[in-house]
A and B are shown apart, each in its own frame.
Chain A
Amino acid sequence: MLTIHQLNKRFDHLQAVKDFNLVMQPGEFVTLLGPSGSGKTTVLRMVAGLESPTSGSIHLGDVDVTHLTPQKRNIGLVFQSYALFPNMSAYENIAFPLHVRKQDKHTIQKRVNELLALIGLTNRKDHLPHQLSGGERQRVALARALSFHPPLLLLDEPLSALDAKVRQSLRITLKEIQRTLGVTTLMVTHDQEEALELSDRIVVMAKGAVEQVGTAMDIYYAPQTAFTEGFIGETNPITAEVLDVIASPIGEKIYNLRWHHHVFSWLADRHIEPQGTSITIGIRPESFHFLPVGGHGSIEATIVDKLFFGSVTRFIVKLPDHTTVKVDAMSAISQQYPIGAKVGLLITDPRLPIGFVDEAVTMTANPS
């Protein structure tokens, strides 16, 4: 659908985008995720034709669009700041691309009304942009970008200017609309939660280059670079002893590891190799679990602090060697674990099938 090959963009002395490659399947939802200034918008603008690449190529289907003007690309683009034409009503904004395409009056009317219904703004159609709320404006901008049935939709931080509540509901709307229409979508965001929730695949970018491409699970649980690991979510780096390496049913390497007398299984990350008999891996806070103290193969630990995050509570937990780790648990159970309490701590790899977790625990119970 969209093929980006070795794309580069240089502004004077600044390499804004470096050797960017991406192949998107029809109907796929891909997110560019990265910190401010990592070149996400620049990639999007080059795909839209608003910026010309220094080198590299962009294909839409079989067509080389690298040097086409934006008008000829037929791509829908939604800007971060909505950018509705201030002198046109919601209706006129959505109709604009259809007028441009010289469609007849009746067709335009039908299409615009259909879209207004889709975004739930039929009764607001004659409002000018400044009379609409941020969320409403963004929905109009989305409808405008979709009105001419573009095969590819580009979204530049479409939700970042909205408050948390609206953002959440619009996220769902966005995903629903994208699914209903099946339009291939490339979105830019620096909100990792948004990226993890919406995307089929995520492209993590840093300093103009791709750090990692993968599914949300891949990116989250198997970060390939230190940057990705640090950028997305929290991790606890731990060094464990390698007891055994086995193969999973689909041929992945699984380590059986021992850490503070606790034995657990861990799916091998491609970029991490054991050093001798030990290996350093990153454990997500929610991959730890509490058991009653002395529980089945667990590490005896002490809760030293609690931070309430809403549905989740973060515990700071001290281990026998006086190091601490961060552990996330549902707030519903956090009452059972007051500060100072002793608990049993376990690690489970959420990527592993249930059987493997059991096996590791069994090994712990019968150390040989």
Chain B
Amino acid sequence: MRRKWISKIVIFFFILQMVIPVIGLMIFSIDNEGLFTLSSYQTLFTDPSFLSSLMNSLGISLVSVVLTILLVTPPIWYGYLYSPRILRVLEAMSFITFVLPGVVLGLAYVQFFSNPPFALAGTPTLLPFAFTLFGMPYYMQSVLNRLRHSEAKLYHDVARSLGSSNLRSLLRVQVPLLAPGILIGSILVFSIGMGEFTITQLTTGGSFMTLPIYLQVDFQNNPLAGAAMAVIALLIAIVLVSLTLGTFRRRKKRREAIHVNHSSVEQAV
């Protein structure tokens, strides 16, 4: 009983220390010497370079998500079903990115990709690959978790025994099965893309404006607008999370709806 109390208090303070700075930032963004104002938001949305950096960030994050899904999902899936060794290698690899700071990777990229034939430094081409690499541990764990709980191998065996090609099984059976894991993993990769600063700065040399870079520049020039931007970033995150949760809930509802339909038919009969 007493332990419950203690843990409740601990959780309360934990949440408080996370929430207070955010609330502070929010207040700061709408405060004009004690008066309410949205002028900082106005400045932001009328600034064309804010809008373009927003589009850049969204674009690069989406590309990273697609890249991750296409590059990372198949080897995890194959490794989980058929080759524990591949899976171990992948897992080990994904942990490298935990200990590899962005600066190091960024500098390595700049070093390696500065000269032909790979003169990619200064362009955003490398960013999706970097974000994929950074997102991989999270993406991998969420897909693996789903694999472990969905008996993917069993369903693949079933599909094959019923005559299905591997590709059809993958698209018609495995993807729906793994969708929740892929979705959650994608959101994690997406948010990494939306927030990454170091590598973007290093590899593009500031030629490619993304939200974090804009934020950094803007915050120095105009703290108010910077705060407004941070709040917007927060809103984007909240929208994303609720979208995900909403997808799950809708699914569940749809299932229940089918169920209700049938029971009413039965009652009628």
Contact = CB atoms under 8 A, between A and B. Distances in A.
Task: Note whether A and B form a binding pair.
Answer: yes
Given A81-B154, A83-B158, A71 B176 contact: no
A44 to B, nearest CB: 10
Given A77-B158, A79-B158, A71 B266 contact: no
Given A79-B154, A81-B154, A85-B173, A70 B161 contact: yes
Nearest to A127: B262
Interface in B134-157: 150-151, 154-155, 157
Contacts of A69: 160
A87 B177 contact: yes
Given A83-B155, A85-B155, A100 B161 contact: no
B262 A71 contact: no
Contact of A96 (B164, B261, B266): B164
B258 interface: yes
A50 B161 contact: yes
A96 B155 CA distance: 13
B162 interface: yes
Interface string A67-98: 00111001111010101011101000000110
Main secondary structure of the interface of B (DSSP, over half): helix
A126 B158 contact: no
Interface string A97-134: 10011000000000000000000000110111011000
Given A85-B158, A127-B258, A71 B269 contact: no
A87 B259 contact: no
B253 interface: no
B255 A148 contact: no
Given A79-B158, A83-B154, A101 B163 contact: yes
A51 to B, nearest CB: 10
B11 to A, nearest CB: 34
A247 B165 CA distance: 59
Nearest to A89: B258
B255 A128 contact: yes
Contacts of A77: 158, 161-162
A190 interface: no
Interface string B100-119: 00000000000000000000
B174 to A, nearest CB: 10
B163 A100 contact: yes
A48 interface: yes
B163 A123 contact: no
A72 to B, nearest CB: 8
A3 B142 CA distance: 44
Contacts of A50: 157, 160-161
Q: Interface residues of B toward A: which range?
A: 20 to 34
A75 B161 CA distance: 7
A144 interface: yes
Contacts of B165: 71, 100
A74 B163 CA distance: 7
B265 interface: yes
Contact of B262 (A79, A86, A124, A148): A124
B163 A97 contact: yes
Contact of B258 (A70, A79, A131): A131
Contacts of A148: 162-163
B168 interface: yes
Contact of A126 (B172, B176, B258): B258
B168 A123 contact: no
B167 to A, nearest CB: 11
Interface in B222-269: 255, 258-259, 261-262, 265-266, 269
A70 B160 contact: yes
A144 B162 contact: yes
Nearest to A74: B163
Contacts of B172: 96
Contacts of A124: 262
Nearest to B262: A127
12 contacts: A49-B161, A71-B164, A75-B161, A83-B155, A85-B155, A87-B177, A89-B258, A100-B162, A100-B168, A123-B266, A126-B261, A131-B258
Interface of A: 48-50, 69-71, 74-77, 79, 81, 83, 85-87, 89, 96-97, 100-101, 123-124, 126-128, 130-131, 144-145, 148
Interface of B: 150-151, 154-155, 157-165, 168, 172-173, 176-177, 255, 258-259, 261-262, 265-266, 269
Given A75-B161, A87-B176, A124-B262, 9 more contacts: A50-B160, A70-B160, A79-B154, A83-B154, A86-B177, A87-B173, A89-B258, A101-B163, A127-B262
Closest 10 CB pairs of A and B: A97-B162, A87-B176, A77-B161, A70-B160, A100-B163, A83-B158, A100-B164, A70-B161, A50-B157, A131-B259
